[in-house]
Structure 1
Amino acid sequence: MIDLRSDTVTKPTPGMLQAIMQAEVGDDVYKEDPSANALEQRMAEMFGKPSALFFPTGSMANQAAIKLHTQPGEQLICDKYAHVYNYEGGGVSFNSGVSCKLLDGTHGKITAAQVEAAINPPDFYHSPLTTLVCLENTTNKGGGACYDFDTIDEIRAICDKHGLGLHLDGARLMNAIVAMGQDPKEFGKRFDTITVCFSKGLGTPIGTVLIGNQDLMDNAIRVRKVLGGGMRQIGYMAAACLYALDHHVERLAEDHKKAKEIGEVLQSLPQVKKVAPVETNIVIFHVEDESTFLKAMDDHNIIVSNMGQGALRVVTHLDYTGAMHQEFLEILRKTLS
């Protein structure tokens, strides 16, 4: 089977499993897990921030960040495709009592002009008070698109002008860093809080780290506890994350190369109506006959994601081998020619 639904389907490599089994652990509720503490310190230093905290999932980490930034009845601004709005179970409203103002960005990315136009007047008490902007990098439903620093700087300036917090959902941030050749510390300079997920392209079973300014992070462990995130010997998973940092970051370029090759093949085929620009490891495309295409994939034991409204998605990842890649390309040519 070739599973291209998501980069979340990866399984730990033998080296990662060995790191897990050899991890030094303790009780993290008492902050006595040395592996978890080491991971948090490393991530804080990597992004040039004073503090970091391990979470089991990216959704929990994003939800904690939103809670830290906002009060009930307030509003955040994000793209209409944002993960915090579409794929976190309504947690923005359930956990924080906050609403979302959705912007019609480009490939999941929004601009400073859009942000400023969406801010509710703070003295107009009939509307929610705007207090936070959430960006996503890379964009999931936007096809793995990456923000450039010029755009982020412009949005940061608007946030500073209006007293808004700026959070980065960095579920695939390492993909963006590798693809764009960026320094993690440059993200730390621009965002108040950042989440970095390890269970996607970096290939761990679980794990996300929330990184941020000290005034916000002082309360992060309390919010994590309220959300049910008090954990014990999490060093086993922290060890997997540390292993991923050492062995799985640079290789993300291989996933990007395969995704771009898939995109090039798709663009060359007559049955393909549209292929979104491919920047990292996500390819979103439309075909003439969706049901026939999906049946052909099923016949060849290939799984892709149906994103709805005619959009299909494939995501390259650690367990998608070179042999699988060549087989998939050949099947695409036969199916869609």
Structure 2
Amino acid sequence: MTNNKRIVDLRSDTVTLPTQHMRKAMADAELGDEAYGDDPNINKLEELSAELSGKEAGLLVSSGTMGNLLGALIKCQRGDQMIVGHRAHCYIGEMGGASAHGGVIFRLVDSDERGMLNLDQVYELLNPKDEPQPNTGMVEIENTHGSTGGRVLTKSDILKVSQLAHEHGVPVHIDGARIFNATVALETSLSELVDTVDTVTFCLSKGLAAPFGSMLCGNKEDIDRARLIKKSLGGGLRQAGVMAAAGIVALTEMVDRLAEDHYNANKLAHGLAQISGITLNPENVETNQVYFNVNSADQPKLLNELENNGVRGLILDEGWRFVTHYGITEEDIDWALPIINRTFKKYM
């Protein structure tokens, strides 16, 4: 419980709240039944997502986890392997859904400090020396990469993975929960960045601030199959045009402003790097996530003290994490940094 009325919540960009325009769009949304394909806002959102990603079709799903699961299930048969980086969110943060629901085997390769897959290891898995190896159903990459601090994979990085996989007849999926952070950082379009992959997911929540939903985009055949599997997972949405209306606003109004989050994260990182007890290289902060290490014997107590003083963050396996997002302003960063500094001085 905080002792401060003001809260700067840096735990995650999932804590964003919808904009006023989103709330109005939701209140005024014309509705229909998604199962019959007659909800106009869902149809518009799926068409817009397909257009932005340069793919044939899009599908509204409840979360990025569901989108990644469907991406695996439409490409992998039971017993197939899916090649992923050893710190991939679909492996460590999605309850092993592809294995639980599809009998898919996660085959891990090393990923570097940016989340880029070790291509030599991918090649070895695509060219097994022993016959009784599982078939490879898919290669998955993540952009931006959460466990590396929101680092960005470039178009060249993605092309290298896609060329290698496609040479072996294997499709590529991008977990793009925060891929618009990548497009803004790279100053490119989504369609340009993902044009060599087969399927891509992206969240409408997080930095885009919608209260619900993610999109899965790919060719029409894959999305038609994903739509059927989604129903088997309990993913039918009925009159979800209320939520789709906010998603449309997210995609048309909230992408470019992600640059503000990146600026604020960079400013936060440079400020944190000056605080005794914190180890951080600001040059590694490419988007809206700031990861750092803390030299303290009682880090949970320190985190609790920060929250009591009005600043919220998280301690993860990779270290401490602060995330900037819609609702966090430059003035919030200016207010939070002295509080963080004073609090750390008590424990150092």
Sort the TM-score into its range (normalised by shorter chain). Answer: over 0.9
Determine if contact 1:40/1:52 at 8 Å carries over to the other structure: yes
> What is the percentage of aligned positions where both structures have the same residue?
37
Aligned equivalent of 2:50: 44
Asked whether 1:323 is paired with 2:337, we answer no
Give aligned pairs, total. Answer: 335
CA-CA distance at 1:334 after TM superposition = 2.5
SS in 2 for 1:70: coil
Determine if contact 1:109/1:142 at 8 Å carries over to the other structure: no
Aligned equivalent of 2:4: none
Aligned equivalent of 1:115: 122
Determine if contact 2:261/2:288 at 8 Å carries over to the other structure: yes
Alignment of 1:131-210 (within 5 A): 131-210=137-216
Asked whether 1:283 is paired with 2:290, we answer yes
CA-CA distance at 1:90 after TM superposition = 1.3
Specify whether residues 140 and 284 from structure 1 end up closer, same or farther in structure 2 by C-alpha distance, changes over 3 A only.
Answer: same
Asked whether 1:298 is paired with 2:307, we answer yes
Deviates more, 1:316-325 or 1:197-206: 316-325
SS in 2 for 1:240: helix
Q: Distance in 2 between matches of 1:241 and 1:111?
A: 35
CA-CA distance at 1:284 after TM superposition = 0.6
Determine if contact 2:183/2:193 at 8 Å carries over to the other structure: no
Q: Distance in 2 between matches of 1:188 and 1:142?
A: 20
Determine if contact 2:64/2:203 at 8 Å carries over to the other structure: yes
Q: What is the RMSD computed on CA atoms of the aligned residues?
A: 1.6
Specify whether residues 332 and 205 from structure 1 end up closer, same or farther in structure 2 by C-alpha distance, changes over 3 A only.
Answer: same
CA-CA distance at 1:117 after TM superposition = 2.9
CA-CA distance at 1:130 after TM superposition = 1.7
Alignment of 1:22-101 (within 5 A): 22-101=28-107
Q: Normalised by the size of structure 2, how large is the TM-score? A: 0.92
Aligned equivalent of 1:332: 340
CA-CA distance at 1:268 after TM superposition = 2.2
CA-CA distance at 1:120 after TM superposition = 5.2
SS in 1 for 2:290: strand
CA-CA distance at 1:189 after TM superposition = 1.7
Specify whether residues 59 and 331 from structure 1 end up closer, same or farther in structure 2 by C-alpha distance, changes over 3 A only.
Answer: same
Supply the AA of the counterpart residue of 1:335. T
Q: Distance in 2 between matches of 1:246 and 1:45?
A: 12
Determine if contact 1:120/1:130 at 8 Å carries over to the other structure: no
Q: Distance in 1 between matches of 2:165 and 2:58?
A: 22
Determine if contact 2:154/2:193 at 8 Å carries over to the other structure: no
Gapped runs of 5+ residues in structure 2?
A: 1-6
Give the alignment partner of residue 267 of structure 1, picking from 273, 277, 281: 273
Q: Distance in 2 between matches of 1:133 and 1:200?
A: 25
Q: Normalised by the size of structure 1, how large is the TM-score? A: 0.95
CA-CA distance at 1:63 after TM superposition = 0.3
Specify whether residues 120 and 94 from structure 1 end up closer, same or farther in structure 2 by C-alpha distance, changes over 3 A only.
Answer: farther
Determine if contact 1:78/1:103 at 8 Å carries over to the other structure: yes
Supply the AA of the counterpart residue of 1:74. D
Q: Distance in 2 between matches of 1:63 and 1:295?
A: 35
CA-CA distance at 1:298 after TM superposition = 2.5
Supply the AA of the counterpart residue of 1:270. S
